[in-house]
Structure 1
Amino acid sequence: MVTVMARGEAARRRLLAAAIAELAEHGELEVASVARRAGASVGLPYRYFGSRSGLLSAVLADFHDRLDEQVMSPRFPGDNWLDREHARLVAWVNFLYEDPLTPVTLGRGTGDGEVAAVALRHLHLVIEEGARNMAAGQRSGDIPADRDPGLCAAAVLGGVHTTVVSALTREPRPDREVLVRELWTFVKSAVGRPDYVAKGAEG
């Protein structure tokens, strides 16, 4: 039983990796192309994901799970909330710059209603997580208490994602250091500490 389950999970991961590669390369996802890339029968993706929308939703969920694991959930090193959030911003920009799915998942989308619903659920979860983080910064006295944590988290999330997607469409792309500096200026203003200089940051 364990061997069968392990084989099944390996097949699912192989199909998911093929779908990610297909979407990153072509900006579109066809089940037959994913199956060919994975060296599987055309019916196998349907067995594991149910439909094209299910496969797209799994790709999107994988992107957001990795973003959460590497960027949103960790407690980054730093002497205070602002220093930790500057470190988070650097990791955030690095993740989005390096992941080939960023333009699709955060930019032009897939045009699929089911997938859009999945994206919206992830968005609400990240905003809730960000609001808790903002509230912690307010309790510690590192950022002012006169801002709504949920609205502020939504503004920062939207600002960072939109700015990075915009940067990814430019030729040449802005240097990451430049992008982090511009975004850090925005984030500091959004949380009410525009003059703060984080350790390791220029301003």
Structure 2
Amino acid sequence: MSTATPLKAEQADIVSAPTLRGRRTREKLIDAARGALIEGAGAAEITDIAKRASVSAGLAYHHFGSKDGLVAAVVEDFYDRYARVANQTFRGETWAQREVQRVRAVVRFFLEEPFTRTLFGPLGRSSSVMQAESACMAMLIERGACNIAQGQMDGDLPRQADPHIAAAFVLGGLRQCMSLALFKAANPDVDQLAHAIWVLIAQSVGLREGSKS
């Protein structure tokens, strides 16, 4: 007959993860870390984050390994949500018409997401964050390259441009434009900023004259 004592909730999390409880704990920690990083202008302690999430610091270390691991998970979550916005299906007769909508949706996401200013500001200088961002951007560039290639097939874009280089240029430029806009104005106008960025993107990828946008 077993004499083992019942596991506490947190211990059960560790033994049975990944479970629904474990996934929810991870989500709570990511949400708590995001809030702490925003309030702390990119600085946060894992003990404070765990307290916000109503779990022990040990459980936070179990799920993420370190504070850097937890912060990286917050960055990855941000880019996952960004990708869902950027990769949704937009309707339009031409590549350019669809891309105008995509740019506006992405600009709106960046402006309305509270974590953007923190990530593109003080937090972005951390080596662990830069590494996490680089991995996320690599996946976005792959999807963006397919999109550029589609524009080339549709005849809206010149075929001589390498799709991967063009996608990296557009996505990197978009990030820098958003960073600059956010720190120049408290509340940039979505439509004005999206239009300005679209003009730059259209020029950079060589959008052919006469393509409807």
CA contact (8 A) 2:157 2:208 kept: no
RMSD: 2.2
Give, in whole Å, the separation in 2 of the partners of 1:172 and 1:22: 21
Q: String of CA shifts for 1:97-150, please: whole Å, max 9, x gaps.
A: 111221233344354433322221112221121111101110111222122212
Offset, 1:2? 9.0
Is 1:42 matched up with 2:60? no
Offset, 1:33? 1.1
CA contact (8 A) 1:127 1:150 kept: yes
Hey, what does 1:18 align to over in structure 2? 32
1:109 to 123, 126, 139: 123
Offset, 1:174? 2.6
* SS of aligned partner of 1:43: helix
* SS of aligned partner of 2:57: coil
More displaced 10-residue stretch of structure 1: 118-127 or 14-23? 118-127
* SS of aligned partner of 1:169: helix
Is 1:69 matched up with 2:84? yes
Structure 2 residue identity aligned to 1:93: V
Q: String of CA shifts for 1:68-94, please: whole Å, max 9, x gaps.
A: 1121x2221111111111110011001
Give, in whole Å, the separation in 2 of the partners of 1:14 and 1:91: 27
Hey, what does 2:101 align to over in structure 1? 87
1:31 to 36, 39, 46: 46
Hey, what does 2:165 align to over in structure 1? 151
Q: Specify every segment of 5 or more residues in structure 1 that has no aligned partner in the other structure, as ranges.
A: none
Structure 1 or 2, whichever has the larger Rg, is 2
Hey, what does 1:129 align to over in structure 2? 143
Give, in whole Å, the separation in 2 of the partners of 1:192 and 1:57: 35
1:97 to 108, 111, 131: 111
Q: Specify every segment of 5 or more residues in structure 2 that has no aligned partner in the other structure, as ranges.
A: 1-14
Is 1:184 matched up with 2:198? yes
Specify whether residues 52 and 145 from structure 1 end up closer, same or farther in structure 2 by C-alpha distance, changes over 3 A only.
same
Offset, 1:186? 0.3
More displaced 10-residue stretch of structure 1: 82-91 or 118-127? 118-127
Hey, what does 1:54 align to over in structure 2? 69
CA contact (8 A) 1:28 1:110 kept: no
